[in-house]
Amino acid sequence: MTDFIKKNELSNNWFHIDATNAVVGRLAAEISKILRGKNKTTYTPHMCNGDFVVVTNVSKIKFTGNKLNDKRYYRHTGHPGGIKETSPKLLLEKKPEEILKLAVKRMLPGGPLAKKQLTMLKIYSDANHPHTAQKLKELNFASLNRKNTKIN
């Protein structure tokens, strides 16, 4: 029988990731694992057992291949013929945080639990963030795998 963790036994840590030159998909996959709590031995699929993640320097993230120009993000206004599309290049100029948020959101399972887990992700386009009081643990994303960063 599998022992699941109880609600009063939950503990959340805070991680900091610097996204400078990080590849978007690889970074989103690592963040989604941490948000769901899959990096812990006490992983429970039906509870929010994950950790908080603070990502800085999102304006400096990279795409591999031609994804910066070729990839498309679609959304619908709800009106007939109201489909809108944008590219990562335009999003990087206007709202760089949205690129990483969309990537992580699509790697989480759908439903109310995923919405709660996504609120544990804090994204900032530059190096400044208001979470210094949380005693962040530094996660060196570039050192995990040589393919995690892309330098032009």
Listed as ranges, residues in the chain with pLDDT below 70 are 1
Closest CA to 35 of 138, 99, 63, 43: 43
Kindly report the CATH number assigned to the domain that includes residue 71: 3.90.1180.10
- Does some domain include residue 40? yes
Answer yes or no: are the C-beta atoms of 133 and 11 closer than 8 Å: no
End-to-end, the C-alpha distance of the chain in Å comes to 50
pLDDT of residue 2: 72
Contact 76, 84 (CB under 8 A): yes
In a domain, 2, yes or no: no
Q: Which domain holds residue 17?
A: 7-148
Q: Is residue 47 part of a domain?
A: yes
Q: Distance between CA atoms of 88 and 67, rounded to whole angstroms?
A: 8
| Residue 1 belongs to some domain of the structure | no
Residue 137 phi/psi, 5° resolution? Answer: -90, 130
Q: Is the pTM of this model over 0.95?
A: no
> Does 97 map to a domain?
yes
Give the pLDDT of residue 101: 96
Query: Has residue 50 been placed in a domain?
Result: yes
DSSP 8-state code for residue 33: H
How many separate domains does the chain show? Answer: 1
pLDDT in tens, 114-138: 999 999 999 999 999 999 999 999 9
